[in-house]
Structure 1
Amino acid sequence: MSQVTPLFPNIPIQQFAPSSDNSPADRTARNKRGVADSSKRWSPGVITVSLDLANKKSQALVIDALKEWAHHTPGLQFEIVEGKRGDIRVSDDEGFTGSWSVIGTDALLVDEDQPTLHLDRTDNSKQLRTHALHEFGHALGLLHEHQHPQSTLDWDEQAVRDYFVSERFPAELVQEQILAPLTGPDVQSTAYDPQSVMHYPFPAHLSRKGHGTSENFFLSPGDQEAIRRLYRPNIPGVS
């Protein structure tokens, strides 16, 4: 896939712009995106997280985003480790393009010398934390909320295609990454939640109803429910 420069500064670029054919983004660009993939959830216990980031401020923001998720996943313990050998490997290496993450335990399939979650460098602290929050959702197995099977988005599909192609988004991915609702035996969902941090913001003109969606900066109650449900204890007789 050819290099594409991301032009969506206010949303995390999830697999929009892989920087090379060998990047984790490119290897996973065809993965499903949606609500949650139960086949990618982590087993209870310790997940190590390594941070290869430019400065301590970035590290603090990323750790803060991780803690927000950790509060709702008591069966998982996140351990920050030195170097680049974590189960989840966070990087802002400028050799990669875009903010992205592999989904859940797919991180274990990525070469150990490669990041599993990448964040574009920015001086905008709010944007960095928001992107980290979104990408850690993917790292835990959550998928894109705007592809929820019960989404109320009433797309003007031609407007969507024209808009994203004009912004240099790969045309072949518009259907797969934006328009297509997620289905399949491993797709797990709670009620559709436009306030989810896993939902992209969209301008109103992409909807036939003229309803856009705004950027979300914190876990919504729906996000909290979704991650708790994904990682609820497996107790016989409890569903």
Structure 2
Amino acid sequence: MKFKLLVIALIAICFVACKKEKQFNKPVGLKATTEAIIPGKKYLWPQKYKIKIAFLNGTKEQQEFVKQSSQAWQNQINLIFDYVNSPVGSDIRIKFTPKILSGNSFVGLDNKVIDAKEPTMFLFATLGSKGKNGAPAPIFDLATVRHEFGHMLGLTHEQGRPDGDVKWDDQLDIGGKKIDSASFSKYLKSPYDKKSIMHYAIQAKYTKSGLGIPGYVYDLKGELSQIDKDFISSIYPR
């Protein structure tokens, strides 16, 4: 069985796409950090759970783009993405904001401890908007949605794996940091997957192999890798 690196955290597991994107409000009574990772299966979404997702803003065009883009995950799992009109009682609250360049999302069931009035996922302000002459939104937009929904389902950054191709002895500002080997041994995971939707682009000078890694936007052009599909299907089997 193939397993993709998965994080289910007991203490606020706050994903931050890069250091400049720390837009989350800390949940009251919890220590929210970018790297507080404590694995535990009880932080998986319940099987066949209906995840209620609400938009706090955005145009109908943007909202529809998110719905269509996230379908790639929905097709692989037994969870249901239930888009609702009101944030009241919702599990996930999406906000489009000019304060970031890509996206942020809390990870897995950590979304449930966020104040019900606060967003749990942020997407950049123009995501999903058509270009000039009605041109479709860029691949970057598609990839961003799928990457953030991966976090929402419980996945963390693939490049953080100690058994991966990144030389973490270097100081990198690429999103997160190397996961310590002792903690990593407890994770649910697949073989390392450079093509994962959860893997950032890495320059050749920062890799053990000496080869650059295109990352989730440019490698498969925003598509889920086969290992992404196999892993998430094994966690939430249809």
**Could you tell me the TM-score, scaled by structure 1's length?**
0.73
Structure 1 residue identity aligned to 2:200? Y
Q: Which residue of 1 aligns with 2:235?
A: 230
Q: Which residue of 1 aligns with 2:153?
A: 140
Q: Which residue of 2 aligns with 1:49?
A: 53
Shift in Å at residue 94 of structure 1?
3.8
Q: Which residue of 2 aligns with 1:79?
A: 82
CA distance in 2, matches of 1:185, 1:43: 23
Shift in Å at residue 66 of structure 1?
1.6
CA distance in 2, matches of 1:129, 1:195: 16
Q: 2:123 aligns with which of 91, 113, 119?
A: 119
Shift in Å at residue 91 of structure 1?
1.1
Q: 1:38 aligns with which of 36, 41, 48?
A: 41
Structure 2 residue identity aligned to 1:147? G
Report the 3-state secondary structure (helix = DSSP H, G, I; strand = E; otherwise coil) of the residue aligned with 1:157.
coil
Structure 1 residue identity aligned to 2:91? D
What is the CA RMSD across the aligned residues, in angstroms?
3.0
Q: What 5-or-longer segments of structure 1 have no aligned partner?
A: 1-11, 234-239
CA distance in 1, matches of 2:104, 2:23: 14
1:90 touches 1:117 (CA, 8 Å); kept in 2? yes
Report sequence identity in percent: 24
Shift in Å at residue 71 of structure 1?
0.5
Q: Which residue of 1 aligns with 2:178?
A: 179
Q: 1:155 aligns with which of 146, 155, 167?
A: 167
CA distance in 2, matches of 1:50, 1:21: 17
Q: Which residue of 2 aligns with 1:212?
A: 212
CA distance in 2, matches of 1:207, 1:138: 24
Structure 2 residue identity aligned to 1:61? F
1:148 touches 1:189 (CA, 8 Å); kept in 2? no
Q: 1:99 aligns with which of 83, 103, 110?
A: 103
> Any idea what the Cα deviations from partners look like across 1:23-71, whole Å, max 9, x if unmatched?
57x93423339xx863421112211111224222221221122211010
Shift in Å at residue 189 of structure 1?
0.5
Query: CA distance change for structure 1 residues 58 and 20 in 2, over 3 Å: closer, same or farther?
Result: closer
Alignment size in residue pairs: 204
Query: CA distance change for structure 1 residues 212 and 184 in 2, over 3 Å: closer, same or farther?
Result: closer
Query: CA distance change for structure 1 residues 199 and 66 in 2, over 3 Å: closer, same or farther?
Result: same
Query: CA distance change for structure 1 residues 98 and 27 in 2, over 3 Å: closer, same or farther?
Result: farther
**Could you tell me the TM-score, scaled by structure 2's length?**
0.73
Report the 3-state secondary structure (helix = DSSP H, G, I; strand = E; otherwise coil) of the residue aligned with 1:50.
strand
